[in-house]
Amino acid sequence: MARRHIMESTFRLNLLNPQHAKINEVIKGLNPKIYKSKNQFLIEACEFYIDHYGEDDIPSKEEKRYEQFVTRDEIEKIKKEIEYSAMSEARKEVISLLGGALAGVKNSQPVVIANPQEDMEEQPEEDVMNDSDVAGLAMGWMLKAC
């Protein structure tokens, strides 16, 4: 007659697996004075694990299956985080560029326009552009930079 209050479970160990071989050695070497049976040892080991790590750490098949999926709320949250980080990085970059441009304007050296006659005396006649052309180009460049 079958006992309805007893459940049987199979426990297999692959001795080629080091983890399984270690468990097999422990089970084979049990002290019969301490543990009444191998079955009782396994029950106590499982109970110890559950007591110290909690039942919440042992997910059911349904929980494992559900954890594999990403919900729309999670996707939206991730999307907002990415947008926020991209915007903050863009702001930092713009501030850095503007700061560099403003610092360049403040630190720019004043252009000294020399008397064209003095420069012509110092430069040879082979120079194609005269000083007034160069000064005009420099002033135009400075106005564009500001």
Band (pLDDT 50/70/90 cuts) for residue 21 is very high
Q: Is the pLDDT of residue 31 over 80?
A: yes
CA distance readout (Å), 68 to 11, 56, 59, 78 = 28, 17, 12, 16
- What's the pTM? 0.35
Distance CA 69, CA 141 (A): 59
Which amino acid, residue 54? G
Distance CA 23, CA 12 (A): 11
* pLDDT tens digits for range 93-146: 988 888 887 777 665 555 555 565 655 555 555 555 556 777 777 777 777 665
Maximum pairwise Cα distance, the chain: 126
pLDDT in the model for residue 66: 64
Mean predicted lDDT score pLDDT of the chain: 77
